[in-house]
Structure 1
């Protein structure tokens, strides 16, 4: 999973990136066309269950699920459209963490000389919608040209796409985001290559200080109320400072400020909820590994996250739950209690499932 950290200038997104990735060396900062910059870091997802499994199995290797965070600069409050370089970067992430300034600092003034979280959110969401609208309009022009020329694809196929993109256009005009549409699998496949920004979930982070005014829900519910968003509040500067302390000092200051979890835990839990993610595990003496999947992922699809050969040659999935293993203490006791089972390819994998895939390896094609 790749999450892009975005926001208007001086919102504190780079401070949040530093707080999230302090234990990880960024893979580098990339400058594109001199306009957009990206700093990237790959972070392990904290998971108490995988720690328990590691102690239980004592494997050679432990592999947490991973999240890639990208600190993306280049967004301003006066862009009619995004530069192509920035648009490419934004279209390639799975979701956004939108950092919104909710603090005053005369040494670092807001670019619009005011503090208004709801207005800042509206500015960026509207810029996303405008850029998606331009893509849809260009596609409709292309489809109309194809229809008029003839001699290419079947007309019913072109007409189907025209109706779909006209629906997208209407939604962007009236309901803000493509994310608000209920699309069929075929329609989702048709638009998947366009990287529409309003189709991506967004975690809104209100960046406060100890003097910030408490905010009500800062998203305009009339225009943006149906978007797939989550909203949390934190103090990025304080979180970054705490992240740099040793564990004892960090625990002391977290208690002083009434913080029950680290910023990384808070962001990841919110992101998992926003993107409807859950974890399953593969276990053994060689490796314990956590895998992130979306809701409604079936056993055969989950096998494909491990290896494509497992998906294509899927036979059955051996399944037990983490909760049952922890409660009963061993695989043999789980089996004795009737909690170990074989599932077919349509089984919907549950959060915390421990799975072993039975599959038929592909044959080598040799002449």
Structure 2
């Protein structure tokens, strides 16, 4: 695993004039290029970009794009020579890659290496809603704010604050501390002009690979804006634009399937269902789908399918979330929070003692960034488990409900392949008793099997044999 890219190589047995298929189960869809390298000195990989893999001037015999079917990634090729199967992905785009490859007919599963990219959140809103101020608040950066700001996307990565990591570090005094990460992409919006159009279609490509959206709506008066704040109307317009964008994607794909007489296949049936839902002005996040169908659709990167948070940017002295905003968010599968970005920006510049006084004066229970991250984790059903020791204390982000064997695979594929048991120490028990040995003596340390569902805050040590 390198700093700039992730690479893995594995031998592929010779295939004599027969099709080979790589079948990889991925946490979510991603864009990569599948390459077949015919010899060890065939060439070097070109630069990688943020959206996935870029390979240029490569003397590969086979270079094909993968096709994605929800949780499955598939690429077929007629491989007649022995060689190496090579995948390169930028860490920000990587969900998983599999090597070495075996024919599906053998029943041998591919070997997986799962990276741990930062959760990626897109920030959308009308110009003047304060979304770039929110971006600066969350990331600590100083992107240009105000209507007519930079048209290029603002990108920032933060360490997810977690006081549990701080307490574990005080206990273990590790050489290295690794927090979970979250990245943000802020794209410019259009000023409210009565048309209801907020998003620049050309800029939406920068947020298609995000895990979720934050829709920022203005609930404060501004001398720079001609119109009075209308957060509910802005929210509805933002959501409608996501729906319209998805309609275009679904119609285009269905047209192609119709030309190929494939509309009766699973893909065509599911897209027809989505199209009807979108035409009813309903976002795909509210469509009742099975887990398999939902994973299947992720390959299309529909915007209205992504989980969404509504952030109501309030003015000084404004409390609460407008009832109409709360109702619309609840009816359309979203969660709403409120903060005053201007006040929070002032708060972020204070030291800890002054921050506490500031929060008390305004009746705020926690800084806006902390409340936002809690809401994002809740909406995306994410939790953290920890690995501890003298070398490193580290937070690992997983989905709620993940079994122990998959959580171990998050750390290294060998753990998942050779999983034996997981030693699990509840965080609360460790803080209460002061050491892992004391927890074990008290009978509160568990030896758990593959199917144990990892809980938020669990401290895990995995036993495995490969």
| TM-score bracket for the superposition, by shorter chain length | 0.7 to 0.9
2:300 aligned with 1:179: no
User: Partner of 1:144 in structure 2?
Assistant: 258
- Following TM superposition, by how much is the alpha carbon of 1:3 offset from its aligned partner in structure 2, in angstroms? 1.0
**Aligned 8 A contact 1:35 1:74 in 2:** no
**Aligned 8 A contact 2:385 2:396 in 1:** yes
**Aligned 8 A contact 2:125 2:199 in 1:** no
Computed over aligned residues only, the root mean square deviation of the Cα atoms, in angstroms, reads 2.5
- Following TM superposition, by how much is the alpha carbon of 1:145 offset from its aligned partner in structure 2, in angstroms? 1.2
Residue in structure 1 matching 2:410, options 298, 305, 312: 305
User: Partner of 1:114 in structure 2?
Assistant: 228
Residue in structure 1 matching 2:376, options 271, 274, 293: 271
Q: 1:271-302, CA deviations, whole angstroms, 9 ceiling, x for partnerless residues?
A: 11111111110011100011111111111221
Q: 1:11-68, CA deviations, whole angstroms, 9 ceiling, x for partnerless residues?
A: 011111122222xx58x99xxxx99522122111121211111111111111111111
- Following TM superposition, by how much is the alpha carbon of 1:218 offset from its aligned partner in structure 2, in angstroms? 3.2
User: Partner of 1:228 in structure 2?
Assistant: 333
Aligned residues: 342
Question: Following the alignment from structure 1 to structure 2, what is the Cα–Cα distance between the partners of residues 209 and 298?
Answer: 44
Question: Following the alignment from structure 1 to structure 2, what is the Cα–Cα distance between the partners of residues 67 and 217?
Answer: 30
Structure with bigger helix share is 1
Choose between structure 1 and 2 for higher RCO, CA contacts under 8 A separated by at least 6 residues.
Answer: 1
**Aligned 8 A contact 1:17 1:69 in 2:** yes
Question: Following the alignment from structure 1 to structure 2, what is the Cα–Cα distance between the partners of residues 298 and 14?
Answer: 38
User: Partner of 1:13 in structure 2?
Assistant: 131
| Helix, strand or coil at the partner of 2:253 | helix
**Aligned 8 A contact 1:41 1:68 in 2:** yes
TM-score by length of 2: 0.68
TM-score by length of 1: 0.85
Gaps of 5+ in 1: 148-154, 362-367
User: Partner of 1:203 in structure 2?
Assistant: 309
User: Partner of 1:318 in structure 2?
Assistant: 423
**Aligned 8 A contact 1:39 1:72 in 2:** yes
Distance 1:168 1:238, change over 3 A: same
- Following TM superposition, by how much is the alpha carbon of 1:125 offset from its aligned partner in structure 2, in angstroms? 0.2
Residue in structure 2 matching 1:256, options 348, 352, 361: 361
Residue in structure 2 matching 1:123, options 214, 237, 247: 237
User: Partner of 2:205 in structure 1?
Assistant: 88
**Aligned 8 A contact 1:35 1:86 in 2:** no
| Helix, strand or coil at the partner of 1:324 | helix
| Helix, strand or coil at the partner of 1:218 | helix
- Following TM superposition, by how much is the alpha carbon of 1:185 offset from its aligned partner in structure 2, in angstroms? 3.5
